[in-house]
Amino acid sequence: MRLKHNLFPISGQELFKDFDRMFESTYKEADNYPPYNVYSKDESTYIDVAVSGFEKEWLEIYVDDEGDLNIVGTKPKTDEKIEFHYKGLSTRNFHRKFMIMKNYTVADIQLKNGILNIRLDKETPNRKVLEIK
């Protein structure tokens, strides 16, 4: 199952520091559930994840100690017996990880019309101009 996705290019020292994590994620079995898009707009990066059938309370979004963005969907178990004539909408539990660079932060999360939209903004380091005396 492929859980981690490199969203941004890695350079210099970051290449060696995160190499093991990238190598590990590249060779996992591919899983495309839930489907997602990653795109940039107005100097932000967005991740849209299709979570049709999931309530807001069933989703957990967090950044772990390694800096990976985790999206976990867990549907509660129910005793309701449903006989499907055709089931084309998958609503299985999932755990999807995205490897994000350290200088990006989660700025906004919205759930609208079955799409989880996560906005990532690049942090600008506080730069102090020093006066020459």
At 44-70, the pLDDT tens digits run 999 999 999 899 999 999 999 888 999
- CATH T-level assignment (fold) for domain 13-122: Immunoglobulin-like (2.60.40)
* Nearest-angstrom CA–CA distance, 65 and 127: 26
Q: Please check whether residue 46 is in contact with residue 110, taking contact to mean a CB–CB distance below 8 angstroms.
A: no
37-to-16, 20, 61 alpha-carbon distances in Å: 27, 25, 16
- pLDDT band for 122, please (50, 70, 90 cuts): confident
- Is the pLDDT at 118 greater than 50? The verdict is yes
Burial of 49 (0-12, 13-18, 19+ CB in 10 A): buried
The Cβ of residue 104 has, within 10 Å, a number of other Cβ atoms equal to 18
How much is the mean pLDDT over the chain? 80
- DSSP E strand boundaries for 20-126: 36-41, 44-50, 59-63, 68-73, 94-99, 104-112, 115-122
Describe the chain by its helix, strand, coil percentages, rounded to 5: 10, 35, 50
What's the whole-number mean pLDDT along residues 123-132?
74
- Is the pLDDT at 4 greater than 60? The verdict is no
- Is the pLDDT at 110 greater than 80? The verdict is yes
- Is the pLDDT at 108 greater than 90? The verdict is yes
Q: Among 48-52, 75-79, 90-94, 122-126, which range has the highest average pLDDT?
A: 48-52
Q: Give the three-class secondary structure for 129.
A: coil
Amino acid at 82: I
- pLDDT band for 89, please (50, 70, 90 cuts): confident
